[in-house]
Amino acid sequence: MVDSLIRDIDGGVVFTAKVVPGSSKTAFCGLLDGMIKVKVAAAPEKGKANKCLIAFLAKELGVKKSAVTIVSGAGNPVKQVRVAGVTSQILSRKLGLDGSP
């Protein structure tokens, strides 16, 4: 199931994220309807939630912020996210989607 959520592309991966802004803390929350759900502490105004998402993913995946791009859905809770420099296996492992601790 995870293999269909995360697509390997040249030099990175693309996946769909469901972002819930205004949460008490920023955290990965599992899967929801074929999307990776992430709660972010920032408010959904002036791009703050998007910046928070990018910073969180960069930190969790061990890449620079510039390696994380919102491809589409910048003004929407459902976003297509591209991360350069990682594979779907690395992303699955670091976000705990592969079942490993």
- pLDDT at site 99: 67
- pLDDT at site 3: 52
H/E stretch holding 89 = helix 88-94
- pLDDT at site 1: 43
Locus of tokens 């920032």: 42
- pLDDT at site 17: 95
Q: Where are the alpha helices (DSSP H) in 1-101?
A: 2-5, 48-61, 88-94
Report phi then psi at 39, rounded to 5: -90, 135
Whether 57 contacts 68, CB under 8 Å: yes
Q: Which domains does the chain have, with CATH numbers?
A: 2-94 (3.30.1200.10)
Whether 52 contacts 40, CB under 8 Å: yes
- What pTM was computed for the model? 0.90
